[in-house]
Amino acid sequence: MIWAIIKIAFFVALAAALAWGAAYVQDTPGRINLAFGGRELELTPLAFIVGLLLAFTGFWLVLKIASLLIAVLRFLTGDETALSRFFDKSRERRGYAALSDGMIALAAGDGARATAKASRAERLLRRPELTRILSAQAAELAGDGLAAQEHYKVLLADKSTRYVGIVGLMKARLAAKDYDAALQLAERAFALRPRDLIMQDALFDLQIQQGHWGGARQTLRYKVKSGTMPRDVAARREAVLLVGDAMKAHAAGDGPRARADALAANRAAPGLVPAAVLAAQVHAGDGNMRLAQATLRKGWDQNPHPDLASAWDAFVQDEDSAARYKRFQPLLKLNPNHAESRILDCELLLAAEDFPAARRALGDLASTAPTSRSLSLMAAVVQGEGGEEHEVRAWLARALHAPRGEMWVCSSCNHLHSKWAPLCENCAALDSLSWTMPPEAATADLPFAMLALLAKEARQDDSDEAELDAVYEPEDYAPPPESDAPDDLGESAVNAPPR
């Protein structure tokens, strides 16, 4: 804006200066006498200046005519391109002017003018490597996708514009949601310019969205090699890709590949919960229980999680509660003050019916970090210790509306997931799921046995019915048959595996 004002001011000043100069010369007294060839010519100053301008114009025309005559002579002497070069100079000037105007119109968002100028520039310059790019972008701006694709296809024929043509066609395929074709075009563009950061990211995103985990890992390694991604970030992401590849191989029945990918993922990121679980299952399937337990212990030491406890529990079947609690001690000794370790300890002690010890293990979690899990466990502890029924119901009523605790939450869009996945099912972001509290506390249903107990107690105590209605609506819950509802909360906790 400032530059435009400066140009306008300069033009006004120049016009004023010329007008003043012309007036000054006109008002100046005197004559200019020219003597040539025995003749004398008398002119006013203004007429003299106009004569000079006409003389320079005539001289320029003489030079142009001379250039044309020289071109004709060269053509007659065998130079077949002499005349075409003479006229091409003027055409090129007009063509480049049209190209410049088209680029300005494109930047201004005037698709119709940009298309018209691109067509004129193409007709004058006859250089498609320059004008086709403008024509394609102008067609895109005007909303003519088919014409834009035709222009991009023409660019494929020229080596210097092939990359631009491939990228343009890739974007068109993405707009049409033809991701398979877009992936193939991205691979071709990456082969032409592997160091292009934008193309690296585009290819990587298409590969993970299409589940091409192996190709995505190769692209990831090249990003590290080219210095566009730190090695520690790449190691974590490669572990996530390996887990995704292992899951895909397992679904396809490719056991050896799933096994190799799971072990490689655990080596790359021991703290990645799904990788640790898969690797432990692989070691257990090979009969190497020591290595399977070591894998879970290392994962628990870095990131305690219910899935690790479930994998540890699955190592042995049909054991009594005392033996089970003893077998979990190596895991419980790691991160003993972590909330997940305390909850696991409490669940195991509830299963062993050691209710005072379960209360000590749970500590103050029910008050400092109330979730449906901690409050439900507190209700089980009170029930097991022989507490009053109204106290048990109070804990259960609080658990009904408490946050359900940590969940797999996408850090990009805050979408909640019931289980881990390499990509967010909502925004398709890679490695964005973390085990944390949701930004907006989500409530969860209580375990079936505890809901049944709450309903049973509500039916037995008519005097507390009005108080319970504020928390629990009987018409919204259909109680199960009496044979399916356990009579003792402690027994339900014994039969429930640790989370």
pLDDT of residue 459: 45
pLDDT per position as a tens digit, 230-289: 988 888 899 999 999 998 888 888 889 989 999 999 998 888 999 999 999 999 988 899
Q: The dihedral of CA 337, 338, 340, 341: what is its sign?
A: negative
- Domains of the chain, earliest start first: 230-315 (1.25.40)
pLDDT per position as a tens digit, 425-461: 999 899 899 898 887 654 444 444 444 444 444 444 4
Name the band, by pLDDT with cuts 50, 70 and 90, for residue 16: confident
Mean pLDDT of 363-386: 89
Contacts by 97-101, CB closer than 8 A, 24 or more apart? 98/124, 99/125, 99/130, 99/131, 99/134
Cβ count near 391 (within 10 Å) = 14
Mean pLDDT of 300-311: 92
Distance of alpha carbon 303 from alpha carbon 299, whole angstroms: 6
Name the band, by pLDDT with cuts 50, 70 and 90, for residue 87: low
Residue 165, pLDDT > 80, answer yes
Distance of alpha carbon 336 from alpha carbon 186, whole angstroms: 49
Angle at 71 between CA 66 and CA 75, to 5 degrees: 150
pTM (two decimals): 0.64
pLDDT of residue 37: 65
Q: Nearest-CA neighbor of 155 among 180, 174, 136, 175?
A: 136
Which residue has better confidence, 204 or 58? 204
The least confident of 75-79, 168-172, 343-347, 387-391 is 75-79
Helix (H, G, I), strand (E, B) or coil at 33: strand
pLDDT of residue 84: 57
Distance of alpha carbon 393 from alpha carbon 361, whole angstroms: 22
376, 450 in Cβ contact below 8 A? Answer: yes
The torsion region of residue 35 among left (phi > 0), alpha (psi -120 to 50) and beta comes to beta
Q: Beta strand pairing status for 416-417 and 39-43?
A: unpaired
Which residue has better confidence, 132 or 445? 132
409, 439 in Cβ contact below 8 A? Answer: yes
Residue 494, pLDDT > 60, answer no
Round the average pLDDT of the chain to a whole number and report it: 79
Kindly tell me the burial class for residue 316, based on how many C-beta atoms sit within 10 Å of its own C-beta (0-12, 13-18, 19 or more): exposed
